[in-house]
């Protein structure tokens, strides 16, 4: 167990994460070969490649491991990587980050664009988004209106915020048009009623939405639970879509409570975004007994590393925390 953990930690220092790999165009073996050629070229600041892991559990994401850890630093210094090969119809921009880098280095999100189909031409909207968000990689638009988007978490969050605002503006415009068309014949009657009926404060309350990285959300829920525990007037719900979790904050009493909660959540997530890192250990070659040993060791280490979050999955183990804590945790494990 110690040898396996040490070997994985050693590989982490020689590994990079590559996002934006064109998905579904070529056979996986061919795309792997193209990635090897790209990262071995001197013009790309590359060097000898030990291994390329592609495909991975995330579409368009590959893990490249070099023989020399110094090559990682060299590759990361290149301003822009563009995947070019005669087997590809065009060049594709790649985003390259350190493997044990920011936990948000790569995010895949499935967006449902069907809510816009009654107001906008979806193909034109996608083109607008591609021009606006050049750091993101967009998959093909599906018949049901969904589209896969890959890129850094901040870029995904910015895109979602933009779409939320657009959806809200379209909804408000539609409501105004409906009200104008239905209210004109009854305006005098409504004005008469309003003048006679007593006014009551709105009972709708207040609603706010914030989009978070799923790992960050679980980390906050574990180590900062008070952020989500306000009072009986505030209800917080969440919807997870892969790497992205949407948190909905509803306040029955209004008075800006939901807004303050959202701002607190956003403020804490920004702080964590700057310090959190994630180490991933794969179980590909592990037996069930070895997986159980990983589980037992992690449980025994939790008391020694109370600020580290361990998350077990069927194929891998995620260790989330600060760089120093993760290093100590994996070394002891």
**118-163, pLDDT tens digit by residue?**
778 888 888 888 887 776 778 888 888 888 887 766 677 778 777 8
| 173 located within any domain | no
- Looking at per-residue pLDDT, the higher value among 116 and 90 belongs to 90
21 and 70 part of one domain: yes
Residue 223 pLDDT greater than 50, yes or no: yes
222 and 268 in a common domain: yes
What is the CATH classification number for the domain harbouring 252?
3.30.70
Are 23 and 88 part of one and the same domain?
yes
User: Does residue 168 lie within any of the structural domains?
Assistant: no
72 with 92, same domain: the answer is yes
Total tally of structural domains belonging to the chain: 4
Positive or negative, the CA dihedral 124, 125, 126, 128 is positive
* Chain segment 272-299, per-residue pLDDT in tens: 877 788 888 877 777 888 888 888 888 8
Q: How confident is the model at residue 47 (pLDDT cuts 50, 70, 90)?
A: very high
Q: What is the pLDDT of residues 189-218, one digit of tens each?
A: 444 444 444 433 334 567 888 878 888 888
**Domain presence at residue 181:** no
Average pLDDT value over all residues in the chain: 78
Q: pLDDT value at position 128?
A: 84
Question: What pLDDT does 181 receive?
Answer: 59
What residue numbers bound the domain in which 62 lies? 12-98
Does residue 7 belong to any structural domain of this protein? no
CA atoms within 13 A on the CB side of 143: 0
**Pick the residue with more confidence: 50 or 256?**
50
Quick one: 69 and 113 in the same domain?
Answer: no
CA–CA dist 331, 333 (Å, integer): 5
Global pTM exceeds 0.75: no
Tokens (6 digits) for 32:
């792997």
């Amino acid at each position: 167990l110690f040898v396996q953990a040490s070997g994985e930690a050693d590989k982490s220092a020689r590994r990079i994460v590559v996002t934006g790999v064109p998905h579904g165009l070529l056979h996986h073996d061919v795309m792997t070969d193209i990635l090897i050629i790209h990262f071995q070229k001197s013009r790309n600041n590359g060097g000898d490649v030990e291994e390329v892991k592609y495909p991975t559990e995330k579409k368009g994401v590959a893990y490249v491991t070099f023989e020399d850890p110094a090559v990682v630093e060299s590759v990361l210094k290149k301003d822009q990587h563009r995947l070019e090969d005669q087997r590809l119809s065009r060049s594709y921009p790649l985003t390259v980050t350190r493997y044990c880098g920011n936990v948000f280095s790569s995010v895949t999100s499935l967006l449902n664009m069907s809510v816009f189909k009654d107001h906008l031409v979806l193909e034109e909207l996608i083109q607008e988004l591609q021009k606006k968000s050049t750091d993101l990689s967009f998959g093909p638009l599906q018949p049901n209106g969904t589209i896969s988007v890959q890129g850094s978490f901040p870029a995904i969050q910015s895109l979602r915020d933009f779409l939320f605002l657009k959806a809200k503006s379209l909804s408000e415009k539609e409501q105004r048009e409906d009200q104008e068309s239905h209210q004109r014949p009854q305006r005098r009657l409504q004005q008469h009623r309003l003048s006679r009926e007593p006014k009551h404060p709105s009972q709708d309350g207040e609603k706010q939405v914030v989009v978070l990285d799923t790992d960050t959300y679980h980390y906050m829920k574990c180590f900062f639970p008070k952020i989500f525990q306000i009072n009986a007037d505030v209800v917080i719900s969440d919807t997870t879509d892969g790497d992205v979790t949407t948190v909905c904050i509803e306040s029955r009493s209004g008075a800006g409570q939901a807004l303050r909660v959202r701002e607190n959540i956003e403020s804490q997530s920004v702080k964590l975004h700057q310090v959190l890192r994630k180490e991933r250990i794969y179980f590909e070659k592990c037996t069930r007994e070895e997986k159980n040993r990983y589980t037992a060791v992690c449980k025994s280490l939790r008391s020694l590393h109370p600020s580290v979050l361990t998350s077990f999955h069927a194929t891998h183990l995620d260790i989330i925390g600060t760089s120093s804590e993760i290093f100590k945790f994996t070394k002891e494990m």
